[in-house]
Amino acid sequence: MKITWLGHSAFRIETGKARILVDPFFTGNPGFSGVDVKEAAAGVTHILLTHGHGDHVGDTLAIAKESGATVVANFDLCMWLAHKGLENYSPGNTGGTIDMESFTVTFTNALHSSASITEDGVSHSLGNPNGLMLHFDDGASLLHMGDTDIFSDMALINELHRPDIGIVPIGDRFTMGGAVAALACQRFFNFEVALPCHYGSFPIIDQTPEKFVAGMEGTKTRVATPKPGESLDL
């Protein structure tokens, strides 16, 4: 499995025949500078969305139109995107699992919000925010937590799914900060590898993963902090 961090909460996951983008926020993403959008989206087969905020939906419509990739998101978000012209999508909702042939996607809980403000100033609810639990036929299991705070039912997510890899928001203000994120990983999960995200982009959130890295010292979990555009082979 090859995982590439693309800044903020955006990741590219390559395994088997699947080429997956999660939360592909490229245009306007300060944390995405120096990364080629066409290269990031090359050959994409699936686009997975944790929730409806603009810094997560990002370039979904343009990439889906260009590539024909299947968009996987909660029902409300899929219907909103379909109204905007999205044609190939597979909706779900919290607790549900979608079989994408070479992998499955399960929608887990996340403590956050999910809405969009349109050009006329109206707020549209885009369903509940989610984490995304991925089980692959030929590789490690992966949990992208989405945007969230710590919550005790993370223990139940771990009991049900036993994720090997965790993608963890750490930037504070809109998600849990680094110290709390480290506590969540230690108390509720047994990740082999943890990748922090949702930092280093906008100036009002934490710019480095230092608090998370410090909080994870002495644990069995390997903390990986690639630069945007860098990949890990796991």
Domains of the chain: residue spans and CATH: 2-226 (3.60.15.10)
- Going by C-beta distance under 8 Å and a sequence separation of 6 or more, which residues neighbour residue 114? 51, 52, 53, 74, 77, 125, 126, 127, 128, 129
Query: Among residues 215, 144, 206, 207, which one has the least CA distance to residue 173?
Result: 206
- Whether 230 shows a pLDDT value over 70: the answer reads yes
Query: What's the mean pLDDT when you consider all of the chain?
Result: 96
3-class state of residue 158 by DSSP: helix
Q: What is the mean pLDDT of residues 115-140?
A: 89
| pLDDT of 121 strictly over 80 | no
Mean pLDDT confidence for 115-142: 90
**pTM of structure:** 0.97
Helix (H) or strand (E) holding 4: strand 2-5
DSSP string, 7-38: STT-EEEEETTEEEEES---TT-GGGTT--HH
> What whole-number percentage of the chain has pLDDT above 70?
99
- Show the CA angle centred on residue 23, arms to residues 18 and 26, nearest 5°: 105
Beta strands in 18-164 (DSSP E): 18-22, 46-48, 70-74, 89-92, 97-99, 103-109, 115-117, 123-125, 130-136, 142-144
Q: Which of 30-34, 108-112, 134-138 has the lowest mean pLDDT?
A: 30-34
What whole-number distance in Å separates Cα of residue 93 and Cα of residue 112?
15
Could you read off the pLDDT of 53-106 as tens digits, one per residue?
999 999 999 999 999 999 999 999 999 999 999 999 999 999 999 999 999 999
41 to each of 69, 98, 159, how far by Cα in Å? Answer: 10, 22, 33
